[in-house]
């Protein structure tokens, strides 16, 4: 039996594998990667590697074994048909008879276009009959804290979210939840609504940045159309810019406030505060 992590060299996948290494022997972990060279460090630590690509279904043939627990980390190629990509993994897992397939989805309250692929993937997974766990991840602190350069340059946080609030958490928090599900018992056929303990607004985020930098950082609320234009002007492909701006519209409606408490319960500790993520990013 192996714990298999797809997208293992991605932002979330790396956290998951690192935390798994603290809990289980390395030879019980299989990292699914597209580029073996990127995973050389994991292989050196004894993690098994499997080279496969969501866009090449045959690469998943025989990859899973009966009894495996699988974490399907959602793809980020919005233009490649993510539902079809995810279905490749689900079908291969079903054929192998895996013990559990956990999928990183989006909050059930999210109606933005970003959620469409997640809802459709959930339907494929439920229809497969596999034992499943839906990890409905909320927004990540790093979606903001990893892009501080333009904020600091212009002295402004720009978003199309009005006074909306969101319950973000750190990638490491969501990874810890996945690890808890993959290494624990009793998580078959479960749905977890995952988000940070504290909801915040962009005005509060700007105030926190001001406090930590000693500079005046303003919050400039803009329309979805204006934000879409800003993002495309910065080189973001138009379809992706539209999806990201659509998330802001959902934030304004409160759709990314997750109040279930599932995340802190699963990981057995409070979630990482936004202020801590800001501190980490500013040090970097």
What is the pTM assigned to this prediction? 0.96
Rounded CA gap, 67 and 15, in Å?
23
Residue 66's pLDDT band (cuts 50, 70, 90): very high
Question: Tens digit of pLDDT for each residue in 9-45?
Answer: 999 999 999 999 999 999 999 999 999 999 999 999 9
Give me the mean pLDDT over the 85-93 stretch: 97
Phi first, then psi: what are they for 237, rounded to 5°? -55, 140
Q: Are 12 and 31 in contact (CB under 8 A)?
A: no
Q: pLDDT at residue 133 above 90? A: yes
DSSP state of 112: S
Residue 81 pLDDT: 87
**Which position has the token pair 């607004």?**
201
Give the mean pLDDT of the chain. Answer: 96
Least confident range from 34-43, 71-80, 86-95, 273-282: namely: 71-80
DSSP state of 53: B
Q: CA–CA distance from 146 to each of 43, 152, 278 (Å)?
A: 27, 12, 9
Residue 77's pLDDT band (cuts 50, 70, 90): confident
The alpha carbon of 275 is separated from its chain's Cα centroid by a whole number of angstroms, namely: 20
Residue 47 pLDDT: 98
Dihedral over alpha carbons 63, 68, 69, 75 (to 10 degrees):
10
> What is 16-31 written as a DSSP string?
HHHHHHTTS-GGGEEE
3-class secondary structure, 81: coil
- In the chain, the percentage of residues whose pLDDT exceeds 70 is 100
Residue 80 pLDDT: 73
Give me the mean pLDDT over the 141-165 stretch: 96
The alpha carbon of 31 is separated from its chain's Cα centroid by a whole number of angstroms, namely: 17
Rounded CA gap, 203 and 209, in Å?
10
- Other Cβ atoms within 10 Å of 257 Cβ, number: 18
Question: Tens digit of pLDDT for each residue in 180-199?
Answer: 999 999 999 999 999 999 99
Question: Tens digit of pLDDT for each residue in 259-278?
Answer: 999 999 999 999 999 999 99
Q: CA–CA distance from 244 to each of 195, 196, 274 (Å)?
A: 18, 20, 20
Q: CA–CA distance from 245 to each of 172, 232, 252 (Å)?
A: 25, 11, 11
Q: pLDDT at residue 284 above 90? A: no
**Which position has the token pair 């790093």?**
142
């Amino acid at each position: 039996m192996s714990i298999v992590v797809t997208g293992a060299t991605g932002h979330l996948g790396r956290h998951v594998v690192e935390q798994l290494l603290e809990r289980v022997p390395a030879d019980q972990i299989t990292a699914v990667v597209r580029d073996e060279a990127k995973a050389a460090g994991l292989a050196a630590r004894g993690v098994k590697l499997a080279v496969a690509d969501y866009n090449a279904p045959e690469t998943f043939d025989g990859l899973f074994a009966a009894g495996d627990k699988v974490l399907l980390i959602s793809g980020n190629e919005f233009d490649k048909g993510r539902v079809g990509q995810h279905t490749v993994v689900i079908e291969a897992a079903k054929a192998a008879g895996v013990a559990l397939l956990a999928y990183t989805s989006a909050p059930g309250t999210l109606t933005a276009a970003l959620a469409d692929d997640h809802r459709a993937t959930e339907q494929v997974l439920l229809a497969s009959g596999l034992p499943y766990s839906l990890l409905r991840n909320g927004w990540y602190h790093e979606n903001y804290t990893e892009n501080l350069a333009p904020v600091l340059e212009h002295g402004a946080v720009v978003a199309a979210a009005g006074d909306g609030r969101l319950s973000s958490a750190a990638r490491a928090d969501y990874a810890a939840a996945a690890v808890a599900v993959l290494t624990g018992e009793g998580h078959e056929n479960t749905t977890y609504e995952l988000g940070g303990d504290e909801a915040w607004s962009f005005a509060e985020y700007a105030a926190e940045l001001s406090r930590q930098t000693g500079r005046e950082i303003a919050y400039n609320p803009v329309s979805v159309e204006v934000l879409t234009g800003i993002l495309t002007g910065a080189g973001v492909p138009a379809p992706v810019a539209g999806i990201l701006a659509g998330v802001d519209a959902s934030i304004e409606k409160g759709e990314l406030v997750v109040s279930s408490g599932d995340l802190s319960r699963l990981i057995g500790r409070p979630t990482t505060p936004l202020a801590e993520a800001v501190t980490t990013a500013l040090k970097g």
